């Protein structure tokens, strides 16, 4: 009887185990293939915050793989040789859900790698810099993901609200930037009744405003002050900006657009408004329009405030711009896009899809390591259709009125040209941070 009972239970268990092992082996083979493809294509450098897995702690349960919000769109994490691994590093956009899901504490979230450093301001747990009263949130602090930036902007305001001053003529907080982090911080400041003002040198949305038309941005659910829970998944740039515009209007947020901060000076001692009851200082902020005083300053300015330039003759010509706003304006023109990141590929593909623009994409690298698979696929389709000329391992030497000169290996190419769009990213505002005393640390694969 015992033997029969053992047989009744053992056979199904063995069958289930066998099916599980076969499926797991098949999955690991696929994940290994994805990893090998990433390595062979040179796509091994994550663009933002990303996980590092400790193999001595990882038991290969796969919880982190399932937890990654990007899994439904493309591979990021996988199982290789029985352990979790970052199999498609360039697809990782820093959700951090994998770390929270790991039951064995085997995952650390880091910035940069041993090969590529990332400059990050030194921050305390409350997002305050080494300069008392100056806070950083969002992309400048490493949180490029929209959902994370929205959350971080609110969290930074919690620390600021804890030391509210209530001084006459002095803002409790001046928020610099109206991107995701700045917008969330503005809502939090308004909800808490703080005296605040938000400055934005361009339009609502910050870097999102500069995205090409139709760009999809993934946010996921997020709780916003004065708004409540918001569900935004695979939302287009236009839909997201429309939502933010409605939120800004309905809540009467105090945002001054097209106003650029030029200097921040900490004032110590003296008569009001220089004296701060708690810290002994306030900040004098000079913009292109006026002078303001604030007890705290939140920098939510992103990392692309200053476009990275090529530094070549002719770059000052009017036909050279540093972002694509509307592809329609380039109909019938000969356009060169320069860059290898998502913004460059999206710009080139958007122009090529017009159908009547002659578009070329120049990138100094041999592969688009930092671009998402969906953008690489768009470029591949445009190239296959003959609408886009791909110039890898090339660099611009000179820009002229009607053409430009490129170098590709030992070859010099003269290309007829009407417009140049440089999408080479932006320069971290290190000089600006240095003038106000904020320390910046270069992360090489560290938290």
For 390-424, the pLDDT digits (tens) are: 999 999 999 999 999 999 988 999 999 999 999 98
- Whether the per-residue pLDDT at 273 is higher than 50: the answer is no
Tell me: the pLDDT tens digits for 291-338? 999 999 999 887 665 678 899 999 989 899 887 877 888 999 999 999
**pTM of structure:** 0.65
What pLDDT, on the 0 to 100 scale, is given for residue 209? 54
CA atoms within 13 A on the CB side of 182: 33
Contacts for 260 with CB less than 8 Å, ≥ 6 apart: 199, 201, 287, 288
What is the reported pLDDT for 143?
A: 63
Over residues 74-87, mean pLDDT: 91
Range in 156-165, 174-183, 220-229, 270-279 with the lowest mean pLDDT: 270-279
Residue 196 phi, psi dihedral angles, 5° rounding: -140, 165
Give the per-residue pLDDT at 303.
67
Q: 11-25, 178-192, 348-362 — which is least confidently predicted?
A: 11-25
- Three-class SS string for 86-140? ECCHHHCCCCCHHHHHCCCCCEEEEECCCCCCEEEECCCCCCECCCCCEEECHHH
Structure tokens at 444: 């090489």
**Which helix (H) or strand (E) is 281 found in, with range?**
strand 281-287
pLDDT in tens, 7-27: 667 767 777 777 777 788 888
pLDDT above 60 for 278: no
Q: Which class for 306: exposed (0-12), middle (13-18), buried (19 or more C-beta within 10 A)?
A: middle
- The domains located in the chain, with CATH, are 17-110 (3.30.70.20), 119-306+429-443 (3.50.50.60), 309-424 (3.50.50.60)
């Amino acid at each position: 009887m015992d033997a029969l009972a053992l047989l009744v239970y053992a056979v199904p268990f063995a069958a289930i185990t066998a099916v599980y092992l076969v499926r797991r082996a098949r999955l690991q083979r696929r994940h290994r293939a994805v990893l090998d493809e990433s390595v062979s294509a040179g796509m091994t450098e994550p663009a933002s915050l990303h996980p590092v897995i400790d193999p001595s702690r990882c038991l290969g349960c796969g919880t982190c793989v399932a937890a990654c919000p990007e899994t439904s769109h493309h591979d990021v994490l996988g199982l290789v040789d029985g352990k979790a691994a970052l199999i498609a590093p360039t697809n990782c956009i820093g959700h951090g859900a994998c770390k929270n899901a790991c039951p064995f504490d085997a995952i650390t979230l880091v910035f940069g790698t041993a090969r590529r450093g990332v400059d990050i301001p030194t921050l305390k747990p409350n997002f305050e810099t080494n300069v008392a009263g100056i806070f950083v949130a969002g992309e400048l602090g490493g949180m490029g993901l929209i959902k994370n930036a929205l959350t971080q902007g609110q969290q930074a305001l919690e620390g600021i609200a804890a030391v509210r001053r209530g001084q006459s003529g002095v803002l409790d907080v001046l928020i610099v930037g109206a991107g995701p982090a700045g917008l969330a911080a503005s809502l939090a400041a308004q909800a808490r009744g703080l005296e605040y003002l938000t400055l934005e040198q361009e339009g609502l949305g910050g870097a999102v405003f500069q995205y090409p038309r139709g760009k999809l941005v993934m946010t996921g659910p997020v709780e916003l002050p004065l708004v409540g829970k918001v569900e935004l998944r695979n939302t287009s740039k236009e839909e997201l900006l429309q939502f933010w515009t409605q939120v800004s209007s309905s809540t009467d947020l105090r945002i001054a657009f097209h106003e650029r901060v030029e200097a921040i000076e900490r004032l110590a001692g003296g008569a009001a408004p220089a004296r701060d009851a708690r810290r002994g200082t306030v900040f004098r902020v000079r913009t292109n329009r006026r002078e303001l005083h604030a007890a705290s300053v939140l920098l939510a300015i992103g990392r692309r405030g200053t476009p990275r330039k090529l530094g070549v003759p002719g770059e000052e010509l009017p036909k050279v711009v540093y972002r694509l706003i509307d592809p329609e304006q380039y109909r019938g023109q000969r356009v060169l896009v320069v860059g290898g990141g998502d913004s460059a590929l999206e710009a080139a593909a958007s122009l090529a899809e017009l159908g009547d623009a002659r578009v070329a994409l120049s990138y100094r690298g041999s592969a688009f390591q930092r671009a998402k698979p969906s953008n690489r696929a768009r470029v591949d389709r445009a190239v296959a259709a003959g609408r886009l000329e791909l110039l890898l391992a090339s660099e611009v030497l000179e820009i002229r009125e009607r053409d430009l000169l490129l170098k590709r290996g030992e070859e010099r190419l003269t290309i007829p040209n009407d417009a140049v769009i440089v999408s080479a990213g932006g320069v971290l505002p290190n000089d600006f941070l240095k003038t106000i005393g904020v320390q910046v640390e270069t992360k090489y694969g560290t938290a």
